Amino acid sequence: MFKKILIANRSEIAVRVIRAARELGIPSVAVYSEADRESLHVALADEAVCIGPAPSTQSYLNVEALLAAAKLTGADAVHPGYGFLAENADFAQACADFGLTFIGPTPQAIRKLGHKSAAKALAREAGVPVVPGTAGTIETGFLREAEAVGFPVMVKAAAGGGGKGLRFVRRPEDLEAAVRLAQTEAKTAFKDGSVYIEKFIERPRHVEIQIAADRQGGVAAFPERDCSVQRRHQKLIEESPSPAVPAKTREAMQTAAARLAKAARYSNVGTVEFLLAPDGKFYFIEVNTRLQVEHPVTECVTGLDLVALQIALAAGERLPFGQDRASEIRGHAIEHRINAEDPDHGFAPRPGRISDLRLPGGPGVRMDTHIYPGYTVPMYYDSLLGKLIAHAPDRPAAIRRALRALGELHVEGIPTTAGFHRRVLAHPKFRSGEFDTHFVETLKEEHAQGAQAAHRVPVA
């Protein structure tokens, strides 16, 4: 096992890794920018090193500073968390060259699966269903390729995710402009402007399979997470199991995910993402070669610690269980991403000082967060304040528990998205499980119409 782990990240995920390491008896090193000096992960770690100014390019994305911090503190392993450098093959390779163990997949696996078109080609070879589209990235003949696929289509950045470099095109005359915009955004975000085209699936659900694999070839695929409640391709609520996935489809998705992991010679944890069409067919989207933000829902329904498992697998240990254990489902879990945003004003970020805070608790409630009373949310990073997870014997009970926990959450000083989450849980479509990736847009329209009606002045 490792002597000391450096966590190349910040906020709630850094706190989560510190706690897992401590339970394993492994000292941890936090890194922080000048803007994060007062962050909770800095206080909780055994050691902390400032790695630069507030901008992430000068701190959390500064590979030389991270490696220097590892050398200074004697760390022999690096956990990248999610975001920043977590899916950067060059960083994983730099860690290896520096004599550090990267707690994640190999640089080769990251490269193989991190490029979407290459991952799609590998999925085809492995017999995993893929969305109809171009065989790889294309530089010319966009209209010809799009017409062959059939409108409407999506133009997608080959290197990256998070909704960047992504454009929906319904009409042929809009394609040229969409391609230019996607290429420009992809070049800015990922330093790679290559794109590909795939068929747009109407009214899909976003369903993903968590995988774990050891270096000896063992692979396990866990029950699915439904991430369909999202805004601009950013997930807001995740749950497991999905109310739309029958047992037979679940087993088929798990088999497909495990097959792809073996084809890529994958090790450590990762997530294989699928689109689930209304007719029940599923299609491969991409692989996230890291720990997901929504990993706690899988932990809740399986009773396993995925971060501790990451560390053990990176140390060369075998998977401590087989597929039967990985497939066990214990109740239902729902995760809510609580952000420092104003839902009534376009989800605009609202950083600032938290003057008072009350966190929810009680049976089946988990809150992964890094905030505390008096903490100032910096403007330089994402707006995630924490993740509220409710776990109960079944979905209706999990919804009731989540509503109770969201009502207990009290944050003063800045607006949050907690009220939006309560509206989602109260909506008949969410309660019935009959929703898709466009559900949030529908909810926003209904809320806006209700607000207009409330302010309408009656004519005498």
Q: Tell me the pLDDT tens digit for each residue of 387-406.
A: 999 999 999 999 999 999 99
Q: Quick one: which H or E segment has residue 146?
A: helix 142-149
pLDDT, tens digit (0-9, with 9 covering 90-100), for 54-104:
999 999 999 999 999 999 999 999 999 999 999 999 999 999 999 999 999
Q: How far is CA 350 from the centre of its chain?
A: 21
pLDDT, tens digit (0-9, with 9 covering 90-100), for 402-437:
999 999 999 999 999 999 999 999 999 999 999 999
Q: What angle do CA 240, 242, 246 make, to 5 degrees?
A: 125
Q: Are the C-beta atoms of residues 72 and 55 closer than 8 Å to each other?
A: no
Question: Model-level pTM?
Answer: 0.89
- Tell me how long the chain is: 460
Tokens of 357: 């805070």
Choose the weakest-confidence range: 116-120, 144-148, 269-273. 116-120
Per-residue pLDDT at 460 exceeds 60:
no
pLDDT, tens digit (0-9, with 9 covering 90-100), for 205-254:
999 999 999 999 999 999 999 999 999 889 999 999 999 999 999 999 99
Q: What is the pLDDT of residue 457?
A: 55
Band of the pLDDT at 161, cuts 50, 70, 90? low
- Sequence letter at residue 29: V
Closest listed residue to residue 270, CA positions, set 92, 423, 425: 92
Q: Which residues contact 275 (CB under 8 A, 6 or more apart)?
A: 131, 201, 204, 205, 206, 207, 282, 283, 285
CB-based burial, 252-268: b 16+ in 10 Å, e otherwise: bbbebbbbbbebbebbb
Q: Where in the chain is the domain with CATH 3.30.1490.20?
A: 132-199
Per-residue pLDDT at 127 exceeds 70:
yes
Q: What percentage of residues in the chain have a pLDDT greater than 90?
A: 88
CATH topology of domain 132-199: Dna Ligase; domain 1 (3.30.1490)
Kindly give the pairing relationship between strand 332-339 and strand 384-392. Answer: antiparallel
Q: Quick one: which H or E segment has residue 32?
A: strand 28-33
- The larger pLDDT score, comparing residue 202 to residue 459, is at 202
The SS3 of residue 349 is strand
Per-residue pLDDT at 171 exceeds 80:
yes
Closest listed residue to residue 423, CA positions, set 331, 304, 343: 343
Q: What is the pLDDT of residue 458?
A: 58
Q: Where in the chain is the domain with CATH 3.40.50.20?
A: 5-103
Per-residue pLDDT at 452 exceeds 70:
no
In words, the CATH class of domain 5-103 is alpha beta
CA distance to 178, 291, 394, per residue, from 331 (Å): 43, 22, 5
Identify the burial level of 448 via C-beta atoms within 10 angstroms of its C-beta, where 0-12 means exposed, 13-18 middle and 19 or more buried: exposed
| Residue found under tokens 């009606």 | 453
CATH topology of domain 205-447: D-amino Acid Aminotransferase; Chain A, domain 1 (3.30.470)
Choose the weakest-confidence range: 93-102, 118-127, 235-244, 299-308. 118-127
How far, in Å, CA of 207 to CA of 272, rounded? 9
Q: Quick one: which H or E segment has residue 93?
A: helix 89-97
Q: What is the pLDDT of residue 43?
A: 98
Residue ranges with strand state E in 121-233: 153-157, 166-169, 195-199, 205-213, 219-231
Band of the pLDDT at 325, cuts 50, 70, 90? very high
Q: Are the C-beta atoms of residues 84 and 60 closer than 8 Å to each other?
A: yes
Among 167, 290, 366, 401, the one annotated catalytic: 290
Q: What is the pLDDT of residue 232?
A: 85
Band of the pLDDT at 137, cuts 50, 70, 90? confident
Q: Are the C-beta atoms of residues 356 and 373 closer than 8 Å to each other?
A: yes
Q: Where in the chain is the domain with CATH 3.30.470.20?
A: 205-447
Q: Which residues contact 453 (CB under 8 A, 6 or more apart)?
A: none
Mean pLDDT, range 194-215, rounded to an integer: 95
Instruction: Report DSSP letters for 202-244, one per residue.
Output: SS-EEEEEEEEE-TTS-EEEEEEEEEEEEETTEEEEEEES-TT
Active site (annotated) includes residue 290 = yes
Per-residue pLDDT at 183 exceeds 90:
yes
| Arithmetic mean of pLDDT over the chain | 95
Closest listed residue to residue 126, CA positions, set 137, 113, 136, 138: 113
How far, in Å, CA of 244 to CA of 227, rounded? 12
